[in-house]
Amino acid sequence: MLLEPPPRLHLKAIFHTEGDDSTEQHHQSSATWHKNNALSPCMHSSSPLHNQLLMLSPLTKSPWHNNNNNISLLQNGLVGSIKREEGHVCSLAVSGDLLYTGSQSKNIRVWKNLKDHTGFKSSSGFVKSIVLSITYQKIFTGHQDGKIRIWKLPNHKRVGTLPGFKDYVKRKVRHYDAVSSLSLDEENGLLYSASWDKTVRVWSASDMRFLEAIEAHADAVNAVVTGFEGRVFTGSADGTVKVWKREKGRVRHALEGVLLKGESAVTALAVSLRCGVVYGGCSDGVVRFWEWKRGVWKGGVLRGCEGAVLCVCVVGRYVVSGYGDGSVGVWKREASGVHAWVCALLGHTGPVKCVAAVEDGFGKCVVYTGSVDGSVKVWRVGHDAPVLRVC
């Protein structure tokens, strides 16, 4: 079985030949339900937990099936787990009641109500990143073979590849290694791709034109995320987090500053537009954050579970991170700016490679996690939810 490498600490060029892509329909459910999960009690801010408690999931079906009368009463816990024998789950994205997952099988699966709804396939390259655009009715996927593929919604038909055939021979246009991360600035119609070739490239989301190549870091770029006020943030295996600012009236980007110069690889980035905070996951097991306040960056550290941080996401005031030991940590940013530790979600048997979350409108959020163990788990988390103890 092919094993997908972790976020890069060194570089190695990988090239594949482009082939046909196909869409396939599936109507049978492959969801596997688990009624028991482990979840830690709420503890003090930014503190690791040493005693984990077995928890009983309060749900017997998908959160999409719960009505508004009982949804607010649900406690923290595992909703369900879905698994298809396609290797590591490398990426995921959520849109409405649909969950998209990418794996090392090169398939993109679409799940609805925790059932295998449909799927589409690229002929080469692990699916390392998925970004959805409702504005452009497109899905962008970043692959191990250094290419970005574009799919049309809602039929999931492939409509293009970046770079295109005519541009592929141009040195400055194509990535020379895996596309590790994608981020979309829908307001300005810009798609950003980060690569292990140390660069970030900028594309037009509307007509798929190449716009700019940024020589971003001294080592593999593991993460790129668009931010506020024209800023773009990049994190690298060289241990740095950099801030890039789009030049006024132009697409070109200039380096504005460096938020972190560390010894540990930066593996993931996320931005809270609501709070003006940037979060960075690092291989030393720490989530670092920087808040933009009165023209100055102020930073802090979140410590939760064990192992390297492999992925981070932000929804509302919740911050969720996935770890190399298979655990998932959850914090909530209070109005004061303090991050309160909510819980650790336990259940994966392999490193958690990707995470996404959505608010449910009742002060809680639904968290989706994908792992090297081949499963996707769905959790419900609420800061004030009571903890159920199972002896």
Over residues 79-120, the pLDDT tens digits come to 999 998 788 999 999 998 999 999 888 889 999 988 888 888
CB-side neighbour CA atoms (13 Å) of 190 = 22
> pLDDT averaged over the chain?
80
The predicted pLDDT at position 75 comes to: 62
The residue behind tokens 């930014």 is 46
Average pLDDT over residues 311-327: 96
**Is it the case that residue 315 has pLDDT exceeding 60?**
yes
Q: In this structure, which amino acid lies at residue 249?
A: G
| Mean pLDDT (whole number) for 6-33 | 36
The one-letter amino acid code at 167 reads: D
Question: What CA–CA distance (Å, rounded) separates 237 from 132?
Answer: 26
- Residue 46 pLDDT level (bands cut at 50, 70, 90): very low
Which amino acid, 66? N
pLDDT in tens, 138-155: 999 999 999 999 999 999
* Residue in 140, 137, 97 with CA at minimum distance from that of residue 122: 140
SS3 184: strand
17 Cβ contact list (under 8 Å, min separation 6): 124
Nearest residue to 144 (alpha-carbon basis) of 127, 160, 123, 130:
127
pLDDT of residue 385: 52
More confident residue, 351 or 248: 351
What per-residue confidence (pLDDT) applies to 66? 40
- Per-residue confidence at 360, pLDDT binned at 50, 70, 90? confident
Chain centroid, CA 194 distance in Å = 13
Q: In this predicted model, which residue has the larger pLDDT, 45 or 121?
A: 121
Please tell me which residue, 17 or 74, carries the higher pLDDT value.
74
Q: Are residues 108 and 100 in contact, defined by beta-carbon separation less than 8 angstroms?
A: yes
H or E stretch covering 358:
strand 352-359
The mean pLDDT of 288-308, rounded to a whole number, is 91
Quick one: pLDDT at residue 165? 63
* CA pair distance 41, 59, nearest whole angstrom: 18
Task: Name which residue leads in pLDDT, 202 or 383.
Answer: 202
Confidence category of residue 73, pLDDT binned at 50, 70, 90 = very low
The pLDDT confidence band at residue 284, using thresholds 50, 70 and 90, is very high
Secondary structure element (H or E) that encloses residue 68, with its range: helix 68-71
Domain layout of the chain by residue ranges: 22-382
| pLDDT computed for residue 269 by the predictor | 99
- Provide, rounded to the nearest whole percent, the portion of the chain with pLDDT above 70: 77
Q: What is the pLDDT of residues 210-228, one digit of tens each?
A: 999 999 999 999 999 999 9
Mean pLDDT of 297-315: 94
What is the CB-side half-sphere exposure of residue 63 using CA atoms within 13 A? 32
The CATH homologous superfamily to which domain 22-382 belongs is YVTN repeat-like/Quinoprotein amine dehydrogenase (2.130.10.10)
